[in-house]
Structure 1
Amino acid sequence: MENNTSLSCDNKYRQITGIIIGCGNRGQIYAQYAQHFPERFRLIAIADSRSIIRQKLQKIYSLDDKYIFNDWRQLVNTNVERLADCAIITLPDREHYEATIQLAAKGYHILLEKPMATKIEHCKEIVQVCEDNKVLLAVCHVLRYLPVVKKIKQLIDENLIGKLISIQHMEAIGFWHFAHSYVRGNWHNENESCFSLLAKCCHDIDLIQYWMEPRQCTQISSFGKLMHFTRENKPNGASQRCLNCSIESTCPYSAKKIYLDTTKQLGLVAVVAPDIEEQDNCDVIKTKVQHALNTGPYGKCVYGECNNDVVDQQVTILNFDDGATATMQMIAFTEHSSRRTSRFFGTHGELTWNGEDTIEYFDFLTQKRTVYDETDKSSVGIMGGHGGADFFAMDSFIRALSFDQPELIGTGAHDSLKSHILTFAAEKARKENRVCQISEFL
C-alpha cells in the first residue's frame, strides 16, 4: 500500500521544516511526526501563550530559546524572516482565520486544523489568500486518509452496490466526551468558539461529500437543540462543583468519575491539568488534577454552571443533484466515544461500516455477505489519534511538500471549503427552521 511504502523511503525525502502555532493536544500530536521521522520533518519553532506548554515542547524537541514565542503574531512581524517551510495551525477555532491569512502571506505552507474558520466568508478568504501567495493549504479532515474510508469510496465508485441511493451516517460523540469538550471544555459556547456541528462534525459532512462525489449537494436541512445540559435539568441537591457534591455518586457526568476514578480517561488529565510533567508519579498527578477540578472549568457541574449553549444532538439531511440523499446524526448520549458508523444503500447491495477497520457488503442478488478488512498496521504506535488518521494526514502533507506533489493531499483547499459551506448551511437551516439552497452560500 502507498502508506507502507512511505515508511521505508526516507532517503528520498527533502527534509521539511515547520513551526507549530498553538500547542494544545492537536498541535502536540502533529509535532510527534518529528520524533518518529526526523529525516522528513524538523520542528523549528513553537508559539503558545502558556509557559508550561512552551517549556515542555522546548525540552522534548530541543528548541533554541530564540524560537520560542508566546504569541504567534511575533512570527509575522516585518522584521522576522520566514523561519520554516510550513506552519501547523492548531490554535483555538476563532484564531484560525487571522493566523492563516498572515502566515500564508509570509510564505508558509499551511496545515490547518479544522474548522478552517468560524465564519463562511473567512473560509473563502483563506482559500483565496493561500492561492494568491502560492502556498499549499491542507485542512485536517484527517478521516479521509483512513484506508477503510478510501476503500468505501472505491467500492462505491466501482458500482459494487449498484447506484448509490442514500447514506446514513452517525457520529456518536460519547456521553463523557461531550461533557468534557462541549459542556466544560473549549467548545462549550458558540460565541467563544463555534457551533458544535462545525467543531465536531465538519469531519462527517466532509466524508459524506467525499463518498457522494461527483454528485453535488443542492439542498440541506437540519434539526436539533441543547436538550439535557441545562440548569433546568440540574438534580436537587447538586453542587456547583463535583468534588463537593452530595449526589456525585449518582451522576454519570461527574468530573470525579471522568478524571479521577476511571483509568480509561488518563489521556484527559493533561488537558485538565497542563502542569503535569512526565516524571510525575500517580500521587502527584492526582493532586494536580484535584486542584484543577476544584478551581478550573473541568470540575464544574454540567447542569447550568458552564455557560454552555451548543446543541447536544442534531440531525442533518442532505439532498443531492441526482436525487440521492444522506442523513448525518450527531449525538452526545452514546456509550462509545467518537465512533462513526455508516450505511450505504445501493440498488444492488448495501455496505455497513461500524467505525472500525472492516466493511460488510450484502449482495441483493446472491444474498451473501462479504467482509473487507482494511486494517493497516503501518501507523501502529505512531500518532494514534483518529485511528491512525492523524499520522496518514500529516504524512501526506509532508510528502506533498517534500516531493512537490500537491495531489498527495487528500482534501484540497476547495474540497475543504465545500464541506465547510455545507456545514454552515446546515446550521443556518437549523436556526431558521427551513430548507437551505446551497447556491445561497456559494
Structure 2
Amino acid sequence: MISPVRVIVVGAGCRGEIYSKFATIHPERVQVVGVADPRKFARSKLQQQHKIVDENIFDDWHRIADREKFADAVLVCTPDHLHKEPAVAFAKKGYHILLEKPMATTAEDCRAIVEACTQSGVILSVGHVLRYDPVTRKIKELIDAGAIGDVIHIQHLEPVGFYHFAHSFVRGNWRNEAESSFVLLAKSCHDIDLIHDWAGARRCVKLSSFGSLSHFRKDKKPPGAADRCLDCSVEKDCPYSACKIYLDRVKQVVHMEFEGGLTASFSMVAFTKEMCKRKTTIYGSMGELSYNGHEVSVFDFVTQRTTKHTGQDNAPNHFGMSGHGGADYHLMDAFISAVANNDPSLIRSGPEETLLSHLLVFQAERSRLEGRVVYCDEMMQS
C-alpha cells in the first residue's frame, strides 16, 4: 500500500481548512502533520481536527522552512500578497506545492514561483478549482471532440452577486488593492484561465479591458448616510447594509483575440441576483454550446437539434467539500494523487500554463489602467 501523503497547512483560514478536510475524508491517502498560522485560534482548530503533535504547530511558517523536511507537500493558503515567499521557500526545500489562487500579486512573483518549482522538480498545483468542476471539464471535452467545430467566439459571464461583492470586496479581505490584489486577479483569474483553456493551443495575441468602481465611492454616499450601518438613517433602504447581510454594480469587461481569429469576451458584474453561477456561450463553425450555470447544451447546425450534457462526477456528494460545485474536492483529489504517484500530468493546469493565464490577467489590468489595447508579446517584456 502507498503510505498517506503528509501535508503541512500554511495559512489555516477558510481555504486551508477546506482543503485539509480532505484528510478527514480519506485518512488512508493523506495526513495533515503540521500547521502554521499567526492566529492561535486558527492553528489550534486545525490541530484538534487533525490531531497534530504540538512540536508541529507554528505561528510563523519560516520556522517550518528552517527545519528538516518532515512532509511531502505544503498547502499554501496565506493572503494573496503573501504567496510568493513561502511557495518559493518550500519548493526549494523539496516540498510539492498546492498554492491557493491567485499564484501571486505580480507577474515577477508568479515567474519566480514557477522557476523555483521547475528547478526543484516539485509538483505545483494552483487552486484554479473551476478546472476540476465536472461541468466545465465537460465543456472542454466537447470542444476538443469537435462538437461545435472550430471555436469562433467565447462569451463568459461571472455574476459576483451584490451582497457577495459588498462582503468580500468592499468590506472584506479584498477591500484594499494595496493589501491584497486587484479585483480581476482576486476574483476572476479563474475565468481568464478557463477561456485560456477553452482556446486550446491558440495563443492570445492582444486584449483590452474596461472597468471602474462606479458605485462604492464616497461621492455616491446617500444623503443622511452615516459612517456605519448600525447608526445609519438610510440603512433600511440600502441593499448593501451590513445589518441585512450579516444580521438578518461594479463591472469589468475583458476582450481577447487569439491566434486564428478566435475572440473572447469576459464580463465580471457585481450587481447581480445570482452569486458566482457563471454563464457561458461558445460559438463554433458547426454549432453553439451554452452553459446556464446548471447544464450544458449543444445545438448542432447540421441536424438543428439540441443535446444536453452533464458532467460525470465520480464523487457526487463531495463528502462535505461542496465548494465551487464540488471542485474543491476534485482539486485535492488530483493533487494528492499526483504527489502519491509522482505524476504531474494529473494536475489540470501545470506551472507554465497557469503562469500564462495569470500573465493575461496582469495584461488585462494594464490595459484597463493605461486605456489601450495590449499586445501579448509585451508579456515577455514585462
Structure 1-normalised TM-score? Answer: 0.84
Identity %: 48
**2:233 matched residue in structure 1:** 246
* Structure 2 CA distance for partners of 1:173 and 1:124, relative to 1, 3 Å: same
Residue 161 of structure 1, CA deviation: 1.1
- How far apart are the structure 1 equivalents of 2:250 and 2:286? 36
Q: Which structure 2 residues correspond to residues 246-285 of structure 1 after superposition, within 5 A?
A: 246-261=233-248
Q: Secondary structure of the residue that 2:8 maps to in structure 1?
A: strand
**1:304 matched residue in structure 2:** none
**1:59 matched residue in structure 2:** 48
Residue by residue over 1:214-247, the C-alpha shift from the partner in whole angstroms, topping out at 9 and shown as x without a partner, is 1111101100000000111111121211122222
In the alignment, which of 67, 75, 95 is matched to residue 88 of structure 1? 75
- Does 2:171 correspond to 1:200? no
- Does 2:94 correspond to 1:113? no
**1:410 matched residue in structure 2:** 348
- How far apart are the structure 2 equivalents of 1:359 and 1:335? 21
**1:378 matched residue in structure 2:** 315
Amino acid at match of 1:313: K
- Identify the range of structure 1 (376-385 vs 209-218) with the bigger mean alpha-carbon deviation: 376-385
- How far apart are the structure 1 equivalents of 2:140 and 2:91? 32
Structure 2-normalised TM-score? Answer: 0.97
**2:358 matched residue in structure 1:** 420
Q: Secondary structure of the residue that 2:278 maps to in structure 1?
A: strand
Residue by residue over 1:12-66, the C-alpha shift from the partner in whole angstroms, topping out at 9 and shown as x without a partner, is 5431000011111111100100110000000001111111112211111111111
Amino acid at match of 2:14: N
Runs of 4+ in 1 over 6 A off after TM superposition: none
Residue by residue over 1:119-139, the C-alpha shift from the partner in whole angstroms, topping out at 9 and shown as x without a partner, is 101111111111111111111
Residue 84 of structure 1, CA deviation: 0.7
Is residue 17–residue 86 contact of structure 1 (8 Å, CA) maintained in 2?
A: yes
Residue 379 of structure 1, CA deviation: 4.2
Residue 377 of structure 1, CA deviation: 6.0
Q: Give the gaps of 5 or more residues in structure 1.
A: 1-11, 262-310
**1:175 matched residue in structure 2:** 162
- Does 2:304 correspond to 1:315? no
Residue 373 of structure 1, CA deviation: 2.0
Q: Secondary structure of the residue that 2:208 maps to in structure 1?
A: strand
Residue by residue over 1:148-185, the C-alpha shift from the partner in whole angstroms, topping out at 9 and shown as x without a partner, is 11211111122211211000001111000000110001
- How far apart are the structure 1 equivalents of 2:230 and 2:13? 26
Q: Secondary structure of the residue that 1:159 maps to in structure 2?
A: coil
- How far apart are the structure 2 equivalents of 1:181 and 1:344? 30
**1:226 matched residue in structure 2:** 213
**1:298 matched residue in structure 2:** none
Is residue 137–residue 311 contact of structure 2 (8 Å, CA) maintained in 1?
A: no
**2:109 matched residue in structure 1:** 122
In the alignment, which of 124, 131, 139 is matched to residue 144 of structure 1? 131
- How far apart are the structure 2 equivalents of 1:371 and 1:136? 36
CA RMSD in angstroms comes to: 1.2
Amino acid at match of 1:414: E
**1:359 matched residue in structure 2:** 296
- How far apart are the structure 2 equivalents of 1:72 and 1:158? 45
* Structure 2 CA distance for partners of 1:13 and 1:142, relative to 1, 3 Å: farther
* Structure 2 CA distance for partners of 1:256 and 1:26, relative to 1, 3 Å: same
- Does 2:223 correspond to 1:236? yes
Q: Give the gaps of 5 or more residues in structure 2.
A: none
Residue by residue over 1:74-121, the C-alpha shift from the partner in whole angstroms, topping out at 9 and shown as x without a partner, is 1112xx111210000010001001111111111111000011111101
In the alignment, which of 396, 416, 427 is matched to residue 334 of structure 2? 396
**1:434 matched residue in structure 2:** 372
Residue by residue over 1:231-266, the C-alpha shift from the partner in whole angstroms, topping out at 9 and shown as x without a partner, is 1111112121112222211111111111111xxxxx
Q: Secondary structure of the residue that 1:361 maps to in structure 2?
A: strand
